[in-house]
Amino acid sequence: MKTSKGAIFLPGDSLPIPPGYKVIGSFSEVRGKHVICTTITLVSIKGTTIKLVPLKGVYIPNVGDKVIGIAKHISVDHCIFDINSPYPAILQINGFPTKSQSRIDMREQFTVGTVIYGEVKGKFGPYISLTLQGPELGILSKGFVLEISPVKIPRFVGKRGSMINMIKDMLKCNILVGMNGRVWIESDEYEIIKIIREVIDKIERESHVSGLTDRVKNLIAARLKELGVSK
Amino acid sequence: MSEECGEVKLIDEQGLRTDGRKPDEIRKTIMKVGVLKNADGSSYLEQGRNKILVAVYGPEELHPKHLALPDKALLQCRYHMLTFSTDERRSPAPSRRDIELSKVIKSALEPAILLEKFPMTTIRVLVEVIQSDGGTRCAGITAASIALANAGIPMRDLVVACAAGKVDGQYIVDLNADEDKLGEADLVVAIMPQRKLVTLIQMDGSLTLDEFKKVFELAKKGCYELYNIQRKALLEHYEKVAKEVSQDDISK
């Protein structure tokens, strides 16, 4: 299997697709036998797969995405959330996780600033429709919300959750990841939040440089050592 | 080319221009990206004595909503010259020229951006001229294009702009303020270099068809030189991190 290290491509740059190769990744256009990058992209070739990873981009919601939203407008029967996307999201009563939906007043459930972990259900007019029905979904009552570039979320999670599981294990905290570039952390210690903030900054800056998981592991270990926690 | 006080020579006997450049030489240009933390994308450009800062926000929700386009994002551009950007103090209020150049920059960038990916939203490009020495619209377009790329906005290609013109009977590229004011003609060209498409063409003065072709080729040559600097600035921004990381690893 032939593997090549990633190269940075700029908008308009094209790459020929050899016969039998497939292209994985967003923010690109396939034109005939060429793939054309539309954003600053890290291109790597592994075997017969050309992988395109954008280094910067905005969050465009897809059905099934789990997102972290912040309430910004509340009405009797619906609530509008900011989901870090160009499109605001709406949660209607039918998306609420209770059977007696007819008796719900949204104004009693949410205030401006309430944080939720919801799932994208589809579109509703100009809004993105959300639901809170599902495991893990609901109102996040305590914890911190940190932001990361949405295109770096796969790097934050890692292959089969390797990065996030390592962070959870080392820092003994609960983390929920929204595909919209928001990360919710539940921990009693403020120092842990500070370490995760530092980890996020490192991922944002160095996601295109190989060996990131090891560097993050070393960073957490160093910070824990400074705090006097043996690992 | 004559003024009341006498003849102003823009090209000397040795064929050099007022700032010592050859006719086909562009000004010394420096470009940087990611210079502003609070904007989604940003860039800084120095072209001769021109200093330009660009910030890009979006795509984001558009207010007022009635401006929203159902099939694509609305590109909003603002070109603005700071009060201290010229020899004499400028009013901070947008002038007729600022409004016109905002529209010109928008027209030059629009064909390159995949606006149809973000219907009902807006992308805002804010061009601030800190110091001006002619050719700020070209510099604004060039800087805005890399700021858009830095913001992660999908684009068909980068956009680069350069002016060329006729001064003292000679064809020159990348005109400075004096050449712009006193020259016979100037032609502004913005192109998408990889796609080989022209997104803006604007002319002042008069040229014959033959002269136009020569000036256009010169402007295009200037565009490709600036395009190389654009690419270098964008690649350097990301490769710098990789170098720093590898140096950290070596020092460990």
- Per the domain annotation, does A76 fall within a domain? yes
Looking at the fold, whether A70 and A136 belong to one and the same domain comes out as: yes
According to the model, what pLDDT value does residue B71 have? 93
Place of tokens 């002319």: B203
Q: Which of A40, A208, A209 lies at the smallest CB-CB distance from B149?
A: A40
**C-beta atoms of B155 and A12 within 8 A:** yes
Looking at the fold, whether A219 and A159 belong to one and the same domain comes out as: yes
Q: Domain with B101 in it: what CATH number?
A: 3.30.230.70
According to the model, what pLDDT value does residue B57 have? 96
Q: Which of A10, A36, A86 lies at the smallest CB-CB distance from B60?
A: A86
**C-beta atoms of A56 and B152 within 8 A:** yes
Chain B residues at the A interface, defined by Cβ less than 8 Å, are: 40-41, 58-61, 73, 112, 114, 117-118, 120-121, 149-158, 192-195, 231, 234-235, 238-239, 241-242, 245-246, 249
Number of domains in chain A: 3
**C-beta atoms of B155 and A38 within 8 A:** yes
Q: Domain with A33 in it: what CATH number?
A: 2.40.50
Q: What are phi and psi of B92, to 5 degrees?
A: -70, -15
Question: Which residues are paired to A130 by β-bridges?
Answer: A91, A120
Q: Domain with A111 in it: what CATH number?
A: 2.40.50.140
Q: What are phi and psi of A129, to 5 degrees?
A: -85, 135
Per the structure, the complete domain to which residue A79 belongs is given by: 66-140
Q: How far is B91 from chain A (nearest CA, A)?
A: 34
Terminal Cα-to-Cα distance of chain B (whole angstroms)? 64
Are the CB atoms for A150 and A179 separated by under 8 Å? yes
Task: Collect all residues of chain B within an 8 Å Cβ-Cβ radius of residue A123.
Answer: none
Instruction: Read off the pLDDT of each residue in A187-191 and give the average, rounded to a whole number.
Output: 86
Mean pLDDT of chain A: 87
- What's the CA gap between B140 and B52, in Å, rounded? 7
Are the CB atoms for B175 and B165 separated by under 8 Å? yes
Question: Residue A123 — pLDDT band, cuts 50, 70, 90?
Answer: confident
**C-beta atoms of B41 and A56 within 8 A:** yes
Task: Collect all residues of chain B within an 8 Å Cβ-Cβ radius of residue A13.
Answer: 194
**C-beta atoms of A86 and B58 within 8 A:** yes
- Per the domain annotation, does A59 fall within a domain? no
- Per the domain annotation, does A220 fall within a domain? yes
Asked which of A54-63, A72-81, A201-210 is least confident by mean pLDDT, the reply is: A201-210
Question: Is pLDDT at A231 greater than 70 in this prediction?
Answer: no
Q: How far is B76 from chain A (nearest CA, A)?
A: 15
Q: Which of A10, A206, A208 lies at the smallest CB-CB distance from B149?
A: A10
3-state helix, strand, coil in chain B (%, to 5): 35, 30, 35
In order along its 252 residues, chain B shows pLDDT tens digits of 444 455 678 888 888 998 899 999 999 999 999 999 999 999 999 999 999 999 999 899 898 989 999 999 999 999 999 999 999 999 999 999 999 999 999 999 999 999 999 999 999 999 999 999 999 999 999 999 999 999 999 999 999 999 999 998 999 999 999 998 898 999 999 999 999 999 999 999 999 999 999 999 999 999 999 999 999 999 999 887 666 655 554 454
Q: Domain with A211 in it: what CATH number?
A: 3.30.1370.10
Per the structure, the complete domain to which residue B164 belongs is given by: 2-251
Q: Which of B117, B120, B241 lies at the smallest CB-CB distance from A206?
A: B241
Looking at the fold, whether A35 and A94 belong to one and the same domain comes out as: no
- B234 sits in which H/E element: helix B209-251
According to the model, what pLDDT value does residue A142 have? 86
Number of domains in chain B: 1
Q: How many other CB atoms are there within 10 angstroms of residue B193's CB atom?
A: 19
According to the model, what pLDDT value does residue B53 have? 98
According to the model, what pLDDT value does residue B2 have? 43
Looking at the fold, whether A33 and A84 belong to one and the same domain comes out as: no
- Per the domain annotation, does A162 fall within a domain? yes
Are the CB atoms for B11 and B170 separated by under 8 Å? yes
ipTM metric: 0.90
- Per the domain annotation, does A130 fall within a domain? yes
Q: Which of B112, B157, B238 lies at the smallest CB-CB distance from A40?
A: B238
Question: Residue A4 — pLDDT band, cuts 50, 70, 90?
Answer: low
